Structure 1
């Protein structure tokens, strides 16, 4: 892909390939070193820590003036020497720097922790890399669908996106299920590497040569086609996540639009954006239970660009564009509405707001 961000894309691709290789090495382990985070945001594993350290160290070496934002911090590693050693050993054992010179490892466990903590920033103007080392950690623990998300923001605009979905088939129609779920795993073992640069389209290619084989470095990418027209809406959501969103609202919206529910049903947001980009799905709605619930930037930045580069339209429930300068939490937006075209987006957004009024949830409607 010829763009002003060719170097950034090339480096990110090489590093994410190795991050995916690392995740696949950890995936079969029964004990992934999982601990619960203090902020009630779910578990974190040795894979999350190791991948964030790899991403930060490598991209900082290539672009030392850039800012980094990531989900994890190293406080648990500093407090637990055994866990820290497991993360360090995983990094050293699984990352092949000889075949990928853009991949740089920390020089010591202490530097590894420093690299992880380099991501405590909030996004702001200028060049900012955003990482979700493993999106869908709960499903990763079950050896089910997960993703690795890397985004470059420039002045708050999604500019480069690289997403690895190691368990998602890269082929068109490559899964025999009508709708994909967390346990819909690529039978070929190749996985998907998706990438986009703003204004230059979105692409997918295999991650690996096959089950148990190496990285598919020579695989030709396939450009992702524009999303399907509005009369063929195919949803992706996450059903039965009651602590976060409103299943009854989502079901009623689907009924009003006369579409399947839940349809594609995945826990991680990054895999959901990947399904939207690849055409397995082409619309999603997410209404939180309260107006003070907000998304995290690493679950969406970059991954949304994949869908946008196929022509998809993304706003919040109020119809506002997603503001990626709001902070680590997207506090200027409430929920998500995504659809393949401006026309279909307007229909879906109207259905969302009609259902909220019908269910007397005016507390969830903004001023628009």
Structure 2
């Protein structure tokens, strides 16, 4: 792709390919070294730690003046020498750090922990790389759908997106798909998919692997994702009965108001959900949290949203506001999400959200009430 961020894109693509291969090496393990995070927001595995270290070390070497934001921190590794050694061994044994890949490994397990902790920043102005090393860790533990998310945000604006979905077929998409995807949907060919976008230059997809093995499909020709079609029926993607923060009854009521199947596509990870929206397998999503004080995390959305927006999709919060990526690690200036393929369809979905919240007596979730 010939664009102002060509070097950034090339480096990010090569590194995320190696990160995806690492994840697939860990995926079959019964014991993935999972530990619960101190904030009780889910597990973290040796895959999460190793991939964040790889992404940070490699992109810091290429762009030393940039800032980094990532989901994980190294406190659990510093407290558990055995776990730390497992992560370090995984990195050293699975990543091709030759000059052709652009990957740079930490120099030691201690340096690895420092690389992971380099991502503890809050986003600010300037160039900020945002990582979710494994989005959908709970499903990753079950060998189900997950994604690796890399984004470059410049002065609060999504500029570049690279997403690997090792279990999602690059052929899943299009405007006439009849099936719905779930966490257990796995690409039978083993190719997986790699998505990328630069703001103003469209979104693209290509196979991630050559096939059943872990050989990377480096020479595969990308396909540009088609623009969203305003007249097509709504095809939802959501997460049903798997997240305590969700209001499943509200989400069902909105689907009924719009006259669409519920839940439709049903995925835990937010990054795969944005991918389905970009490919056309889905074209709308709504997320209303149980409380106004609950907010999303930047690494679940930055960059991945750009894939959908580059097909013409519109993304706001439940109040109709643009997503503010300068608010911090938590998107504290926004409440929930509403996404649809065009401005006109977005207005319809947003109105349905407000109507259902009022009908169900949840005025506390509407701004100004």
Secondary structure of 2:183's aligned partner: coil
1:286-333 CA deviation, whole Å, 9 max, x = no partner?
000000000000000000000000000000000000000000000000
Q: Distance in 2 between matches of 1:167 and 1:73?
A: 26
Partner of 1:262: 263
Partner of 1:137: 137
Secondary structure of 2:152's aligned partner: strand
Structure 1's 96 and 287: CA in aligned 2 closer, same or farther, altered over 3 A? same
Q: Which runs of 5+ in 1 are unaligned?
A: none
Give the conservation status (yes or no) of the 8 Å contact 1:136–1:145: yes
**What's the CA shift for 1:101?**
3.7
**What's the CA shift for 1:171?**
1.2
Give the conservation status (yes or no) of the 8 Å contact 1:230–1:340: no
Q: Which runs of 5+ in 2 are unaligned?
A: none
**What's the CA shift for 1:241?**
3.1
Secondary structure of 2:354's aligned partner: helix
Matched, 1:245 2:246: yes
Partner of 1:306: 307
Partner of 1:57: 57
**What's the CA shift for 1:63?**
0.2
Partner of 2:327: 326
Q: Distance in 1 between matches of 2:242 and 2:267?
A: 11
1:265-290 CA deviation, whole Å, 9 max, x = no partner?
00000000010011110000000000
**What's the CA shift for 1:243?**
1.4
Structure 1's 70 and 240: CA in aligned 2 closer, same or farther, altered over 3 A? same
Partner of 1:93: 93
Give the conservation status (yes or no) of the 8 Å contact 2:177–2:281: no
Q: Distance in 1 between matches of 2:139 and 2:178?
A: 19
Q: Distance in 2 between matches of 1:58 and 1:210?
A: 26
Partner of 2:66: 66
Q: Distance in 2 between matches of 1:152 and 1:102?
A: 17
Secondary structure of 1:204's aligned partner: strand
Matched, 1:220 2:221: yes
**What's the CA shift for 1:100?**
3.5
Q: Distance in 2 between matches of 1:106 and 1:29?
A: 24
Q: Distance in 1 between matches of 2:173 and 2:125?
A: 40
Partner of 2:36: 36
Deviates more, 1:236-245 or 1:260-269: 236-245
**What's the CA shift for 1:213?**
4.0
**What's the CA shift for 1:40?**
1.1
1:279-298 to structure 2, matched below 5 A, reads 279-298=280-299
Report the TM-score, using the length of structure 1 for normalisation.
0.98
Give the conservation status (yes or no) of the 8 Å contact 1:134–1:148: yes
**What's the CA shift for 1:228?**
2.9
**What's the CA shift for 1:232?**
1.1
Partner of 2:13: 13
Partner of 1:362: 363
Partner of 1:200: 201
Q: Distance in 1 between matches of 2:166 and 2:177?
A: 18
Q: Distance in 2 between matches of 1:286 and 1:220?
A: 34
Secondary structure of 1:232's aligned partner: coil
Structure 1's 177 and 189: CA in aligned 2 closer, same or farther, altered over 3 A? farther
Q: Distance in 2 between matches of 1:57 and 1:242?
A: 32
1:74-130 CA deviation, whole Å, 9 max, x = no partner?
000000000000000000000012263410000000000000000000000000000
How many residue pairs were aligned? 368
Could you say what the CA RMSD is over the residues aligned between the two structures, in angstroms? 1.4
Give the conservation status (yes or no) of the 8 Å contact 1:144–1:185: yes
